[in-house]
Amino acid sequence: MTALRLLGLLAGLLATSRAGSAPLVDIVGGRKARRQEFPFLASIQTQGRHFCGGALIHPGFILTAASCFQSRNTGTATVVLGAYNLRRRERSRQTFSIRSISENGYDPQENLNDVLLLQLDRQANLTSSTVAVVPLPPQNATVEAGTNCQVAGWGAQHHRGRLSRVPRVVNVTVTPSDQCRPNNVCTGVLTRRGGICQGDGGTPLVCNGLAHGVASWSRGPCGRGPDFFARVALFRDWIDSVINQPVGCAPA
Ligand SMILES: *[C@@H]1O[C@H](CO)[C@@H](O)[C@H](O)[C@H]1NC(C)=O
Ligand SMILES: *[C@@H]1O[C@H](CO)[C@@H](O)[C@H](O)[C@H]1NC(C)=O
Ligand SMILES: *[C@@H]1O[C@H](CO)[C@@H](O)[C@H](O)[C@H]1NC(C)=O
């Protein structure tokens, strides 16, 4: 019910902004990221094709969404760090296979606990400026409604659109908790279309420099919001336990 109310509110705002003849800007509603602006951003690929995003949270681990591997095999997936233009060959890239995965109660019916840790086959090289780790919030940390966050990814710029060549970034606002669920962080862009789209699954939501969310699902078509992110702070202790004792299950 609350979601419907928010959609109504968004629709109203959209109508207003369109009436003001603001063009629909093309992630949705964002701008091109600059090279090296998001050095923690991972492109997860099969056969050289991007299908999900992720975040480097430790030299040996990527945090992504469990839903990314609902219909895909981690055995054939690769993780690409230091990428920018997916259509180019880039020297800055570091490519990994997945040694093991760890999940924590993913529920595809309810889209709950949509987090997955991928252990890389070796440690990423962090000596260049193109690859870096993003910090995580402490266990149970909250992110207040109204907080400005950023989400970046190679996802489509509109519903059913093609993937973006270079990552795009959009500033989003955390919605009030009555328009979300306790296990998610939800965001929207109130004055125009904006948010995650196909290909952005697993990509991090960064608020105040911390990866507070993992892109999970969206209530409506791309850019209409609200977008639902797995609430990373609920998994911090679990993440630490996996990273400090890497014995995840074998790749599916
Ligand atoms: C790591 O990156 C630096 C800078 O790009 C490079 O000089 C070095 O050889 C790399 N090390 C490894 C182990 O790949
Ligand atoms: C986080 O919240 C859970 C559930 O409310 C609680 O059991 C746990 O002790 C909390 N942990 C920390 C570090 O605050
Ligand atoms: C977008 O967010 C970034 C990082 O918080 C901030 O520096 C920038 O001013 C924001 N841009 C807009 C248009 O709000």
In the chain, the largest separation of any two C-alpha atoms, in whole Å, equals 56
pLDDT of residue 16: 32
Do 27 and 153 form a contact (C-beta atoms < 8 A)? yes
Please, where in the chain does CATH 2.40.10.10 lie? 3-33+135-233, 41-133+236-243
Q: What residues flank ligand 3, with Cβ below 6 Å?
A: 148, 150, 171
Which atom of ligand 2 lies at the shortest distance from residue 139's CA? 13
In the 3-class helix/strand/coil scheme, how is the chain assigned residue by residue? CHHHHHHHHHHHHHHHHHHCCCCCCCCECCEECCCCCCCCEEEEEECCEEEEEEEEEECCEEEECHHHHCCCCHHHEEEEECCCCCCCCCCCCEEEEEEEEEECCCECCCCECCCEEEEECCCCCCCCCCCCCCCCCCCCCCCCCCCEEEEEECCCCCCCCCCCCCCEEEEEEECCHHHCCCCEEEEECCCCCCECCCCCCCCEEEECCEEEEEEEEECCCCCCCCEEEEEHHHHHHHHHHHHHCCCCECCC
Instruction: Give the fold, CATH level 3, of 3-33+135-233.
Output: Thrombin, subunit H (2.40.10)
Q: Which two tokens stand for residue 183?
A: 């296990």
208 C-alpha to ligand 3 centroid (Å) = 11
Give the Cα separation of 113 and 104 in Å (integer).
7
Residue with the smallest CA separation from ligand 3 atom 10 is 171
> What's the distance, CA 160 to chain centroid?
18
Residue with the smallest CA separation from ligand 1 atom 10 is 125
Tell me the ligand closest to 123's alpha carbon: 1
Residue with the smallest CA separation from ligand 1 atom 11 is 125
pLDDT of residue 124: 98
pLDDT of residue 21: 31
pLDDT of residue 165: 96
For residue 58, the number of C-alpha atoms closer than 13 Å in the C-beta half-sphere is: 19
Among 31, 32, 148, residue to substitute to test ligand 3 (most atoms within 8 Å of Cβ) = 148
36 C-alpha to ligand 1 centroid (Å) = 16
139 Cβ closer than 6 Å to some ligand 2 atom = yes
How high is the mean pLDDT in each 10-residue block of the chain (252 residues)?
A: 34 32 56 96 96 98 97 92 96 96 96 98 94 98 97 91 94 94 93 88 98 94 90 98 72 48
127 C-alpha to ligand 1 centroid (Å) = 6
Residue 185's nearest CA partner among 216, 155, 221 is: 216
100 C-alpha to ligand 1 centroid (Å) = 24
Q: What residues flank ligand 1, with Cβ below 6 Å?
A: 125, 127-128
pLDDT of residue 128: 85
CATH class of 41-133+236-243: mainly beta
Q: How many CB atoms lie within 10 A of CB 160?
A: 9
For residue 141, the number of C-alpha atoms closer than 13 Å in the C-beta half-sphere is: 15
Scored b (16 or more CB within 10 A) or e, 46-72 reads eeeebbbbbbbbbebbbbbbbbbbeee
pLDDT of residue 249: 53
